[in-house]
Structures are given as C-alpha cells and as structure tokens.
C-alpha cells in the first residue's frame, strides 16, 4: 500500500522565506554569542560591556563587536588582572565554545522552522 502526495511548491516564496529565516536566525545566534561574551567581558567601569553589540551587514553576514579604544588590548592581553570580573579572550572563547555554537545553530534552526512551519 502506498499514498502518493504531491505538492507544487512556489520556490520563489520558499527561497524568500528561507532568506528571511536565515537573517533572523543569524541575528539570534549572534545575540547568543553577545550574551555569553557579556558574561566574560572585563567590567571595570562597564563602558566596554556597554559597547558590545550585534551588527548585521545584510541577510547573510553580521558580527559581534566591542567598540572602545581599549577593547582589543583587553581582549588580547592575558596577563591583565580583572579584579571586577571578566577576562581576556571574552569574545574569542565564547565563539569557539561548542555549546555556544550549538545554541547558535539551534537558533538558526528555530528561525527556519518558525518561518516555514
């Protein structure tokens, strides 16, 4: 026994939905990365943490950044002491964390399911 099912898809509409879902999922994933990096960023005055943001270039590209004149130095100098919390590699470490990566992929999957569901 079999049941035959055929669905004529409007591939233009599907493509448009996937594009929208991809952007939404990418942004959600980058927000997850930002959130975790906020837990690890040095917190002397709070200015560095407050400068953290997600920037989307287009539907397929974006980044997480910190925008103070000392953000790079604080990120790279592993010999600095952080008495108010935080650490060096506050963005790199979360980006390389497999748990964070999985959460980012899950956010993308959720966005796709939500758009196509």
Number of domains within the chain: 1
Helical (H) or strand (E) element with 56:
strand 53-56
41: domain range?
A: 12-116
Q: Is residue 29 part of a domain?
A: yes
Strand partners, 53: 65
How far is Cα 59 from Cα 89, in angstroms, rounded to an integer?
27
Task: Let me know if residue 90 belongs to a domain.
Answer: yes
* The Cα angle at residue 117 between residues 59 and 8, in degrees rounded to 5: 95
12-37 pLDDT, tens per residue? Answer: 888 888 899 999 999 999 999 999 99
User: Smallest Cα–Cα separation from 109: which of 43, 30, 24?
Assistant: 24
User: Is there a domain that residue 73 lies in?
Assistant: yes
Q: Is 64 helix (H, G, I), strand (E, B) or coil?
A: strand
| pLDDT tens readout for residues 58-76 | 989 999 999 999 999 999 9
Token pair in block for residue 34:
């930002």
Q: Is residue 57 part of a domain?
A: yes
DSSP class of residue 65? E
- The verdict on residue 32 lying in a domain is yes
């Amino acid at each position: 026994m079999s049941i035959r099912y055929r669905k004529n898809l409007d591939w233009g509409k599907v493509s448009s939905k996937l594009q929208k879902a991809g952007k939404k999922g990418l942004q959600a994933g980058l927000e997850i990365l930002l959130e975790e990096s906020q837990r690890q960023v040095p917190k002397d005055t709070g200015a560095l943490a407050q400068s953290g943001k997600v920037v989307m270039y287009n539907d397929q590209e974006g980044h997480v950044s910190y925008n103070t004149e000392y953000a790079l130095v604080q990120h790279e100098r592993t010999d600095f002491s952080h008495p108010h919390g935080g650490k060096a590699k506050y963005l790199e470490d979360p980006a390389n964390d497999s748990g964070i990566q999985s959460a980012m992929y899950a956010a993308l999957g959720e966005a796709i399911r939500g758009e196509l569901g």
